[in-house]
Amino acid sequence: MKRGRSIFSSITQCPKSRKVFLTGHPLSSLPRWLLLVLGFFALIWFLIRVLPKPSRISYPCQLACVPIAAFFVIWFSAVFASVLSHKKSKSTWKKVYSGFALACAFMAISLAQSSPSSVDEAPLDLSIAPRESHKTPSSEIFVVTGTTGADAGFESLVALMEKRNTPFYATQDNPDGIIAEDDVVIIKINCQWDQRGGTNVDLVASIIRAIVSHPDGFTGEIVVADNGQAQFGSAGSGGSMSWTLNNAIDTTMSMSAMAESFSGDYRVSTFLWDRITLNRVSEYSEGDMSDGFIVHDEVADSTGIVVSYPKFQTEYGTMISFKHGIWLEEQQRYDSNRLKVLNVPVLKSHSIYGVTAAVKHYMGIPSDRLTNRNPHNCVGTGGMGTLMVETRLPDLNIIDAIWINPIPGRGPRTSYRDGSLVKTIAASTDPVALDYWASKEILMQAAEKLGYRDYFRFDPDDRAVRSFGTWLELSMQELDRAGIFSTMDYEEISVFSSSIE
């Protein structure tokens, strides 16, 4: 056996003490045979738990098993290589087989991370309780559970809103609704990340179907848009409307392909603002017809943000200023009322700011590049609240909590492995109240159930320096200064829910 000693022994054995060590690892003091026994049982436990339900790979206990089991697999492969190669060039064979074992280990981890979990698996059992505020003013949140995004979930949400006198449709009989028959609707999504890090494609398709099914008929236009800032993201170069791995039942269905499926009958398109995020332009009213970003010259006193926003022409020729509305060239004026914004973020952890939801999602509106990363740095000072006030408040915020990332500090990148199935969508005209409720009742609850000890990072009531609760409150104060009601007071929030299961 001395001649067949494995490469594992060579790289893990201390020459003096002949004890196994892993630099900086708590298992460093264990004898080699005990580590191998632990590795064997860790591998068996991992296979028993994960193979029947791949989503369990994100559970803390399984994440703890991976390195121990991986060492056992590498050791076993190296021993096997040593036995086969004892009559040949031992060192060469060892390198080949140990390299092969390492490659297999990394391949297995990569496949596990990029393999989607089935929507047929049981979602996390969260307790979402309805409540009704008796205070005035108050904010309303509408919640539908049991939805995959590809079913009648959003239709149920629209019906729930209608029942509570917050109509989704503006009609001749009810002009106070949100979407009119001839509106131009921007569906602001998250497209900077693939897999579960981007807004659910099936949900966006359901929203589009609801819009084009307007009771008075739909003659307007829909643009699915986002600014991935042409930096960072899953490919390191910003956002994409054509990811190969998507947040959908059919993971090959991208946002661009989905939008194109409507284009034969309706004016539906996508616009990736990354393409114009380095172009500084002037408004249409100043005679500049080019696509790009308007950048304010002044810095907001309260939050320090430099406000910027997109101005662009859709593939159907409609000229849009995100702040001012639809530019009517012949009349030389803007129509602000016909431009509507549906803010549709995926609910997930954020490594810097704690939570990505409706308010943080507005980072896809400004140009981070033209302003030297100023907007992103100002999220923590309430800058997204300033941005909403100075450009355009969302007409409706719709949180995609079908698949969420409840791992504190892990997002915004969210692999299939990191996603947890919750099958919930929620909407409100108040982005602050919606974020407060969603972080407290969905993210915190999910993280706690999965055993993450630092689930408090999602707590909107935590007012520690740079915490999610602190910057959400600062954003709320910006809305308040502009006379826009929003709340983080649970007594001022009503929650109405229904289920399609």
Which among 434, 450, 447, 420 is positioned nearest to 493, based on CA atoms?
434
Query: Is residue 364 included in any domain, yes or no?
Result: yes
Statement to judge: residues 192 and 100 lie in one domain: no
pLDDT, position 89: 53
Instruction: Show which of 79, 114, 149 is a domain's final residue.
Output: 114
Question: Which of 41-50, 85-94, 444-453 is predicted least confidently?
Answer: 85-94
Do residue 33 and residue 167 come from a single domain? no
Residues 170 and 263 in one domain: yes
**Tokens standing for residue 322:** 């995100």
Residues 192 and 54 reside in one and the same domain:
no
Cβ neighbours of residue 291 under 8 Å, at least 6 residues apart?
275, 276, 279, 281, 310, 311, 312, 313
pLDDT for position 83: 62
- Identify the domain boundary among 50, 80, 114: 114
**pLDDT for the residue numbered 60:** 52
Helix (H) or strand (E) holding 160: helix 153-163
6 or 130, which is more confident?
130
Q: What pLDDT score does 81 carry?
A: 65
Question: How large is the average pLDDT for residues 94-107?
Answer: 50
Q: Is 189 found in the same domain as 313?
A: yes
165 lies in the same domain as 314:
yes
In a domain, 271, yes or no: yes
- Whether 139 has a pLDDT exceeding 60, the answer reads yes
Q: Which two tokens stand for residue 491?
A: 């007594």
Q: Tell me the per-residue pLDDT of 245-294, one tens digit each, with 9 for 90 and over.
A: 999 999 999 999 999 999 889 999 999 999 999 999 999 999 999 999 99
Range of the domain at 52: 7-114
Going 353 to 356 to 362 to 365, the CA torsion angle's sign is positive
- 93 and 210 share one domain: no
Indicate whether 131 belongs to any domain.
no
pTM recorded for the entire structure? 0.81
Q: Same domain for 45 and 189?
A: no
Instruction: Look at residue 294 and give its three-state secondary structure.
Output: strand
DSSP 3-state of 432: helix
Closest CA to 420 of 152, 122, 193, 150: 122
- Which residues, 6 or more positions from 136, have their beta carbon under 8 angstroms from its beta carbon? none
Q: In the chain, how many domains are there?
A: 2
Kindly state whether residue 126 falls inside one of the protein's structural domains: no
Let me know whether 190 and 262 are in one domain. Answer: yes
In a domain, 120, yes or no: no
3-class SS of residue 224: strand
Rg of the Cα atoms in the chain: 26
Residue 51 and residue 104 share a domain = yes
Does residue 482 form part of some domain? yes
Q: What is the pLDDT of residue 74?
A: 76
pLDDT attached to residue 59: 53
Spatial distance between the Cα atoms of 410 and 404, rounded to a whole number of angstroms: 11
Same domain flag for 211 and 357: yes
Looking at the structure, do residues 107 and 248 belong to the same domain, yes or no? no
Q: What is the pLDDT of residue 96?
A: 47
**Average pLDDT of the residues in 174-178:** 95
Q: Look at residues 64, 79, 114 and tell me which one is the last residue of a structural domain.
A: 114
Query: Is residue 109 very low, low, confident or very high in pLDDT (cuts 50, 70, 90)?
Result: low
pLDDT at res. 398: 98
What pLDDT does residue 324 have?
Answer: 98
Residue 438 has what DSSP assignment? H
Bond preceding residue 137 cis, omega within 30 of 0: yes
In a domain, 124, yes or no: no
**Residue 392 belongs to a domain:** yes
